[in-house]
């Protein structure tokens, strides 16, 4: 997608603090961290949000969930972490390229909404 911020980050056109990368997945630090550790995990392929997961692209989402525990271990999140993906206006999604927030490194609030 030409005008997608996270596509540009995935292509290296916009710099990011990478914590994991392979040919299909990128993880990088959130520019506006909401926890001591706040990482975004994205597929390099453009998918708008969780609302666009389908039979053609779900393998990438499964792969993201295989990568997340590796990132959590590398980041020392042995006491737990939270994974969130905002989809659409009610969830306040601001970047329309699917991403999974991995938050940890501290005790988090019980409430999620």
**How much is the CA Rg of the chain, to the nearest whole Å?**
14
Q: Closest CB to ligand DGP among 38 and 63?
A: 38
Question: What's phi and psi for 93, nearest 5 deg?
Answer: -65, 125
Nearest alpha carbon to residue 104 among 6, 29, 24: 29
Alpha-carbon distance of 57 to 40, in angstroms, equals 18
100: three-class secondary structure by DSSP: strand
Active site residue 99: yes
Using rule CB under 6 A, residue 109 touches ligand DGP? no
User: Would you state the torsion angle of the CA atoms of residues 95, 98, 105, 16, taken in this order, to the nearest 10 degrees?
Assistant: -60
Q: Give the x-and-dash track for 11-50 against ligand DGP (CB under 6 A).
A: -----x-----------xxxxx-------x----------
Residue 94 in the binding site for ligand DGP (CB under 6 A): yes
- Residue 102 contacts residue 71 (beta carbons within 8 Å): yes
Residue 95 lies near ligand DGP (rule: CB under 6 A):
yes
Q: Judged by CB, which is closer to ligand DGP: 29, or 82? A: 29
Rank residues 34 and 56 by Cβ distance to ligand DGP and give the closer one. 34
Annotated catalytic residues are: 99
Question: Which parts of this chain interact with ligand DGP (CB under 6 A)?
Answer: 5, 16, 28-32, 40, 86, 92-95
């Amino acid at each position: 997608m030409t005008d997608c911020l996270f596509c540009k980050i995935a292509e290296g056109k916009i710099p990011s603090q990478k914590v994991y990368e392979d040919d299909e997945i990128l993880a990088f630090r959130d520019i506006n961290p909401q926890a001591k550790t706040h990482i975004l995990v994205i597929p390099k392929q453009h998918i708008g949000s969780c609302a666009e997961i389908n039979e053609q692209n779900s393998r990438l989402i499964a792969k993201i969930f295989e990568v997340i525990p590796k990132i959590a271990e590398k980041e020392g999140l042995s006491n737990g972490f939270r994974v969130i993906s905002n989809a659409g206006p009610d969830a306040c999604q601001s970047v329309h390229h699917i991403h999974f927030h991995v938050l940890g490194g501290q005790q988090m609030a019980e409430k999620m909404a």
